[in-house]
A and B are shown apart, each in its own frame.
Chain A
Amino acid sequence: MSNNLRFKTSKFIDETYRVSFKFNNKTYFGFKGDTLASALLANGIHLVGRSFKYHRPRGIMTSGSEEPNAIIQLHDNSSRTEPNVRATEVEIYEGLVASSQNCWPSVNFDIGGINNLLSPILPAGFYYKTFMWPASFWEKYEYFIRKSAGLGKSPKVADPDIYEHKYIHCDVLVIGAGISGIMAAKMAAKNGFKTLLVDEKSYLGGSSIYDNSEFSKINNQIISSWLEKEINEISKLENLEIKTRTSVAAFHGYNFLLARENLTDHLPINQRENKVRQRLLKIRAKKVITATGSIERPLIFDNNDRPGIMLSSAIKRYIDLYGVACGENNILFTNNDTAYETAMSLIQRGIKINAIIDNREQIDSKISYEVEKNNIKIYKGYTVVDTYGYRRINKISIMKLSKDGQTVIGDKTKLNCDCLGVSGGWTPAVHLFTQSGGKLKFREEDQVFIPNVYPSDQISIGSCNGDFGLEEIIKNTLSSIKKFLDIDNSEYKTVETISGLNQSKRNIWLLPSDKSIGKTKSFVDYQNDATAKDIKLALREGFRSIEHVKRYTTTGMGTDQGKLGNMHALGIISETAGTKMGEHGTTTFRPPYTPLTFGTIVGRNVGEFFDIFRRTPIHDWHVANNAEFENVGQWKRAWYYPKDNENMHQAVQRESKAARDSAGILDASTLGKIDIQGTDASEFLNRVYTNAWSKLAIGKCRYGLMLNEDGMVYDDGVTTRLGENHYIMTTTTGGAANVLGKLEDYLQTEWPELDVYLSSVTDHFATISVCGPNSKKIVSKVVPDLDLSDEKFPHMSFKNSKIDNIKCRIMRISFTGEHSYEINIQANFGKSVWEKCMEAGKDFNITPYGTETMHLLRAEKGFIIVGQDTDATLTPIDLQMDWIVSKKKYDFIGKRSLYRSDTIREDRKQLVGLLTENPEEVLEEGAQIVADIKKSPIEMLGHVTSSYYSPNLKKSIALGVVKGGKNMLGQKLIIPMENKNINVTVADPVFLDKEGERLNAKL
């Protein structure tokens, strides 16, 4: 550590606690309390990264979350690695490892730096202009662009840390713990409001907590002393919760805010075990007080980006708070008084200031006179025109500004320095206010945007509201909080202030140079390398809206969202276009204010909780019996059960054959089940299904098709009449929740007069389907008391029964075309009944089959699957299911739409069967269907919706939708594939047992 850079005068640094850390593979030392930035600066390191486009050397520019340059990779090569972290926000701890990003092979020698020499050919919109043609080349360009650009590296393995979410409800949320935030929190809490105060830093007090200046005082005390007493007082308030290291990321409507609370990032890795790393706070506040302060503006001049060029306020923070001198030979460059506070902090510690360059001709404030008294040369009415030094600034040249500030005059003077502090005045941090939907107004006098119209119960105070003078801040905070909270007692008696600063400023957005603009590199957005020249080019090329200029030049589009330079971009645009500030709009700041980790966003919803899944009551049996699973909605459904070394095809062929030859068993528990009761239940079903329901006898089942009001098929399933006023409806697995919602909607909003009650009972029952020629023998063993004769228990009927004294419902319904039964039993008995069926079917080779075999078996019968063979563009007529649409019913959902001019077209896509010329050839689902491949363009007639090799028919079968397909039976069509054309014939969609002999066979 170069000792001459560390001034052991700060109480925020624990000099007895040395911390070692690694940066770019070299070990350094800092003290507890340092940030990575302050520790690096104490070691004399400014160069920490390379810029995005030109790979120019870049240094630490700020001391806070607005940092555009000092963006580093933390914990490189570990599971905790994190890119794009601001070195100015990282608190160091023993063992910290960090490295520069966006440079190769090293930050000191970077090959990409050649882009800097090529910059004349890398203007604004370069990527758009160059890499757009030919379009097919983009993939190749992208590879190189990504490689050379690369903003950090993403981790390769799972994040070992724990994250969580927490809801907070409070009366008053105060964001920012500077002078006005502290005062507001005290006033709120003392007046009985449940208050939460958050600040992104590890300490309270903002930049005033290290303000030890003799020139500014509150009640005759130096500001830091006064503030410390205030903090001490509020930390004891019961009504007030204080969270430091907590950054508000988003301010949404209705005072809903998201904040990230950092809990362990400042601790050595070995102390983080089993602790929550970051917490996402979801805050709902009745009232919000925004006291986020302001961000110092840089100045825009040629080569204003070299390492060693920093915000003047950052230099002050580093020396006052961390005891670190950023340079040994400093120059300050300013257009306002605040740089003189920095000067005084340096002077008091005997740190050399070579000169102060001030844009203003007249400077009249106590503090500036005091600086002058210390024999510091002040160049009044001057500007910096250029800087020198590759890896660190070593010189500047200055010239006199013309009266109007638009040109430079006279001779050029060169001055030496190793650090240049710049101050262009202050920009209120209105990001959160605008995120919440607030409207800004432009204040001409000092060229700032300030809050104007509040969209919710909130207020901005302090410098984020455009109050910059100490007296103004305190006076306005007191009066506006009293009004905002509607309180009489402000908790403050008279607060007297003295300030040595004057608010005068000479604002010049783009400082003039002796060079032509084309020869300058005056950076407006440091992170994205957007220059004043780029912005002017965009305007010349016709861009006007700030949102367009922003995208074209990439100004403000980095991870810092242009916190430093956006104002200058706006200023340069309006100056160049000769318009008023604000006329081009202001860019929208989007959440998050500073980047959030993915961990914080997902919280505990990782691993199996990322997207929770539903298991059937028989799930464990499927797992134990080697099932592969398929996701259907949120369900895990058994897909197929491979035996030995079977692949999916082999397993499905075996399962399908067994189901038709002897017996198959399927877990159908996922089917949606809705219990429907009430005196109008039959009428209700009449209205929601296309077919008639009033005459369905008790104990009978019926298949129903449900449409949308536009006539398109929505869902299907079998509904059973359990009693006079009692039905159980089944829905598709994926459609269950939506069907219930739709039925509730009609009941509540269109037909409230109907006496009908709906309950979802999907999870209440396990459903086991046993099918095949031996199903009757098997079920008779499982339910011995039940008479299974066709006379007593015909197809499409239902019986109540008992298995081992447990009540069950048995339906004789079939989705395979085989004789089959569906056993519904209380869910927790599902697995044992399934095992009973397996045991009973042992002698009949009962074969469990999954969803794939189910799909194959139903396709052999031409049964549709809603969502696979349909896609919300098909009517029942299109599906050749005219038989299920009642002609007699006056109305049902979707009826009117079935004879709209569009739905009665003959050439609509209609469901057909498809048989391949080569019976071994299985079509691809989704493949296009055409008739003529010679005509160009080839007309697409439809596509394949389902396709299988049927082991029972010993040939390939498929379903598809084809324009006018209904009238094309026997016609030849073509399925063009990548390297061949497949000939198919349009067929009846029912491939197997059209007469229903299998279903009705006497068993």
Chain B
Amino acid sequence: MFLINCPFCGEREQSEFKAGGEAHIVRPKQPTELSDDEWAEYLFMRKNIKGVQFERWNHVHGCRKWFNMVRDTSNDQIKAVYKMGEKPPVK
């Protein structure tokens, strides 16, 4: 079980958190302008990387804040956590 460093609360057990899929997918500002394919790309297409992955997490049983995490899915090492809207601190 991970030990996750919530950017608002500090280190907490993984059981307090909920994973929320791939990070940095911005909801299109003008969905109606998009073709079916473009909308489907936003709606359905997600990466599933073996290696370093950018993810959304929610401290659901804590401060309830969403934040981002960089995690290596091959060994579950968390490389960084950072607030929504911030740039990833690692590549």
Contacts and interface: CB of A to CB of B under 8 A. Distances in A.
Is chain B found bound to chain A in the same assembly? Answer: yes
Interface of A: 252-254, 256, 284, 437, 455, 709-710, 741, 744-745, 748-750, 752, 890-891, 895-897, 900-901
A752 B84 contact: yes
Given A745-B58, A748-B65, A896 B75 contact: no
Given A253-B1, A254-B3, A709-B43, A891 B32 contact: yes
B9 to A, nearest CB: 15
Contact of B39 (A254, A455, A752, A896): A896
A254 B1 contact: yes
A896 B56 contact: no
Interface in B55-90: 56, 58, 60, 64-66, 75-76, 84-85
Given A256-B1, A745-B20, A749-B66, A455 B40 contact: no
B31 interface: yes
Main secondary structure of the interface of A (DSSP, over half): mixed
Nearest to A437: B75
A410 to B, nearest CB: 54
B39 A745 contact: no
A782 to B, nearest CB: 37
A745 B66 contact: yes
Interface in B15-51: 20, 26-27, 30-32, 34, 36, 39-40, 43
B39 A900 contact: yes
B36 A895 contact: no
Interface of B: 1-3, 13, 20, 26-27, 30-32, 34, 36, 39-40, 43, 56, 58, 60, 64-66, 75-76, 84-85
Contact of B66 (A254, A748, A895): A748
Contact of A895 (B13, B32, B75, B76): B32
Nearest to B75: A455
A752 B1 contact: no
Contact of A748 (B26, B32, B84): B84
B76 A253 contact: yes
A592 to B, nearest CB: 15
Nearest to A893: B27
A749 B56 contact: yes
A256 B56 CA distance: 23
Contacts of A891: 30-32
Contacts of B43: 709-710, 897
12 contacts: A253-B2, A253-B76, A254-B2, A254-B76, A256-B3, A284-B3, A741-B58, A744-B66, A745-B66, A749-B66, A891-B32, A896-B32
Contacts of B66: 744-745, 748-749
Contacts of B36: 900-901
A891 B39 CA distance: 13
B31 to A, nearest CB: 4
Given A253-B1, A745-B58, A891-B32, 12 more contacts: A256-B3, A284-B13, A709-B27, A710-B43, A741-B58, A745-B20, A745-B66, A748-B65, A749-B84, A895-B31, A896-B34, A900-B40
B35 to A, nearest CB: 10
B79 to A, nearest CB: 14
B10 to A, nearest CB: 14
Nearest to A709: B43
B44 to A, nearest CB: 8
B1 to A, nearest CB: 4
Contacts of A890: 32
A339 B38 CA distance: 72
Contacts of B56: 749
B88 to A, nearest CB: 15
Contact of A897 (B27, B39, B60, B65): B39
Contact of A741 (B32, B60, B76, B85): B60
A890 B31 CA distance: 9
A744 B85 CA distance: 15
A895 B36 CA distance: 12
Contacts of A748: 65-66, 84
A709 B41 CA distance: 13
A736 B63 CA distance: 18
Contacts of B20: 745
Q: 4 closest pairs, A vs B, by CB?
A: A896-B31, A256-B1, A254-B3, A748-B66
Contacts of A437: 75-76
Nearest to B4: A254
Contacts of A752: 84-85
Contacts of A897: 39, 43
B6 to A, nearest CB: 13
Contacts of B39: 896-897, 900
Contacts of B40: 900
A897 B41 CA distance: 12
Contacts of A895: 31-32
B62 to A, nearest CB: 13
A890 B30 CA distance: 8
Residue among B31, B34, B40, B66 with the most chain A CB within 10 A?
B31
